[in-house]
Amino acid sequence: MPFLGQDWRSPGWRWVKTEDGWKRCEPFSHALEDGNNQLNDISHTVIITGDDENEEVYNTEDCEFAAKKRKKDHFRNNTDSQCFYREKWIYVHKESTKERHGYCTLGEAFNRLDFSSAIQDIRRFNYVVKLLQLIAKSQLTSLSGAAQKNYFNILDKIVQKVLEDQYNPRLIKDLLQDLSSTLCILIRGVGKSVLVGNINIWICRLETILLWQQQLKNLQMNKQVNNGLTLSDLPLHMLNNILYRFSDGWDIITLGQVTPTLYMLSEDRQLWKKLCQYHFAEKQFCRHLIPSEKGHIDWKLMYFALQKYYPIKEQYGDTLHFCRHCSILFWKDTGHPCTASDPNTCLMPVSPQHFIDLFKF
């Protein structure tokens, strides 16, 4: 069986599982090889420039240098010709063995798991944003230079997606607020010793964050013109059922601002009581009882009070998964080369906090 990574018995080959077994994936396509052969032929020709009267003939050494440069540029720019087998999983190893040297870092996992494409999937969008927020709070300085650059590239795509689709801007505002606070502390304090790259680059990134915050602040929701059935046309029991399916108190308040009917339903004491019971244990909210003017418990205020002391349960449409048998982290729909007899019994969903904890040593 082939090994999953580079070691002293396998010099970096990449393998693909097919119906006929494991096959080695070539590092470049035939199209790229043919293109490189054409570029190699340039070094054996004489390049003539200028008019007929002023002809300049380059020697073989100059031609060879020009061919190498063209070959390098062609390899960098012609991405369509490349067919590298890019895994969407990563082996999480925390110590060196005979088979594997070194250990897996948070930055390496962040670069390999293709979060840039994950934000285009609405099921994974909130998951990626929450992960970026946790990294911004405590793990930004642990990322490598390439991972930090990738972090801000993904953040840029998230902001542009929110500005275009107007999807969940409140979540992105919280992320940018935490990130700007962290950068202000690092730049003013020990920024030069913990941030990778020139300090001016980080100042520019901070200015970009402030610009994004201003753009999100000025964001205007587009009013959709629809002559068909609207949310207000639904029966009360269906509207009430929709509200009971929300797991975030701010979403309930936002929906309650749409119509007077929804506002009335969003103020239901039983709704907020169920929300408190879902997120917090009885011992937790018994310590912070907030009675109302009528002597009843104000469950709405209770929810936001408890939120300051205890973490709430997180719900995501799709998450990363960890295989306990192979020690591999991956997106479930892409799969991974598992050797277990029943791979589904070895899978474990990974929350954003668990993702960060996997790489703490």
pTM here is: 0.67
Angle, helices 122-134 vs 169-188, to 10°: value is 20
| pLDDT value, residue 82 | 34
Domain limits, the chain:
103-218, 248-309
First to last CA, the chain: 30
| pLDDT value, residue 306 | 86
Among 257, 274, 279, smallest CA distance to 266 is for 257
Confidence of residue 79 (pLDDT cuts 50, 70, 90): very low
Mean pLDDT lowest among 126-140, 177-191, 306-320: 177-191
| pLDDT value, residue 98 | 59
Confidence of residue 10 (pLDDT cuts 50, 70, 90): very low
Average pLDDT, the chain: 75
Return the structure tokens found at 36: 């490189």
- Read off the amino acid at residue 63: C
pLDDT digits (tens, 9 = 90+) for 148-164: 899 999 999 999 999 98
Mean pLDDT lowest among 31-45, 126-140, 203-217, 347-361: 31-45
Mean pLDDT of 13-39: 58
| pLDDT value, residue 52 | 44
Highest mean pLDDT among 2-6, 140-144, 159-163, 286-290: 159-163
Higher-pLDDT residue of 6 and 234 is: 234
SS3 annotation, 294-319: CCCECHHHHHHHHHHHCCCCCCCCCC
| pLDDT value, residue 134 | 92
Return the structure tokens found at 359: 């790489």
* pLDDT over 90 percentage in the chain: 15
SS3 annotation, the chain: CCCCCCECCECCCEEEEECCEEEEECCCCHHHHHHHHHHHHHCCCCCEECCCCCCEECCHHHHHHHHHHHHHHHHHHCHHHCCCCCCCEEECCCCCCCCCCCCCCHHHHHHHCCHHHHCCCHHHHHHHHHHHHHHHHHHHHHCCHHHHHHHHHHHHHHHHHHHHHCCCHHHHHHHHHHHHHHHHHHHHCCHHHHCCCCHHHHHHHHHHHHHHHHHHHCCCCCCCCCCCCCHHHCCHHHHHHHHHCCCCHHHHHHHHCCCHHHHHHHCCHHHHHHHHHHHCCHHHHHCCCCECCCCCECHHHHHHHHHHHCCCCCCCCCCEEEECCCCEEEECCCCCCCCCCCHHHHEEEECHHHHHHCCCC
Q: What residues form DSSP beta bridges with 330?
A: 89, 321
Mean pLDDT of 11-29: 64
| The pLDDT of residue 290 is above 90 | no
Mean pLDDT of 75-103: 57
